[in-house]
Amino acid sequence: MNILLLEDDLILSAELCKFLESNHFTCDKIYDGETFLRQIRNSSYDLYLLDINVPKINGLEVCQTIRSFDKNTPIIIISAYGDLSDKKDAFTRLADDYLVKPFQFEELLLRMNSLLRRKAPSETSDQELIRVDDLIVNKTEQKVYRGGNEISLTLKEFQLLVYLAEAQGRTVSKQQITEHVWEHNFNTNTNTVEVYINFLRKKIDKDFKVKLIHTRSGFGYYLSPL
């Protein structure tokens, strides 16, 4: 099981990861919310541990951002804030549990195992999320995020993006796109595919240094950060 920890106390972070690793987890530690959100766009984890009072983006905002595209991965808040209002705020943002510092590591382990057991029977959510660099496509909810921000797409734009993303960097031809996205509902000699590729580029790539949608001249299109 892979755990991602957001904790800016270097000593606590190191001790907690060491404890989790001794109990057969892998643990990556991050010290600020901004870096944490970048990390989860590039790697998959089974559970998140979030401190609230951390630099750049606090743990509650991180929790809310995660829940905007991932409703299933368990989130436990670990915080020195013990007021009922703080706990209410965390649960309002759809955290699964809340543990007040200082706490015994064994208690945290019990709560983690309880959440992971509940998740196990329906652990299919990752199949519905496609990640390419900092782009996240949620097939279930038909939502797209890049750089942590939601991008509004029309239905056909979304279907085209999903088809490109599921190709996993392989080039798909104009003919293949028309078969899978439009089901031959227009003449392949028209420029409809090119028009929609341009629509996607304006929404997905325009404001980002790394371009994801590429043309392979004479062959088709592919989605890749390279």
Q: What is the CATH number of the domain that holds 211?
A: 1.10.10.10
pLDDT score for 141: 82
pLDDT score for 127: 58
Q: Say whether both 15 and 106 belong to one domain.
A: yes
- Which pTM was predicted? 0.59
Q: Where among 69, 99, 119 does a domain terminate?
A: 119
CA distance 188 to 57: 47
Give, as one character, the DSSP assignment of residue 137. E
Q: Which domain holds residue 28?
A: 2-119
Task: Report if residue 104 sits inside a domain.
Answer: yes
The one-digit pLDDT tens for each residue of the chain (226 residues) are 889 999 999 999 999 999 999 998 999 999 999 999 988 877 778 999 999 999 999 999 999 999 888 888 899 999 999 899 989 999 999 999 999 999 999 999 999 998 888 765 444 455 578 888 888 898 888 889 887 788 999 989 999 999 999 988 899 998 899 888 887 665 556 788 999 999 999 999 988 888 999 999 889 999 998 7
pLDDT score for 106: 93
Q: Say whether both 22 and 115 belong to one domain.
A: yes
Strands, sheet with 26-30, edge to edge from the N-terminal-most edge strand: 26-30, 2-6, 47-50, 75-79, 97-100
CA distance 59 to 63: 6
pLDDT score for 180: 87
Task: Report if residue 172 sits inside a domain.
Answer: yes
pLDDT score for 122: 46
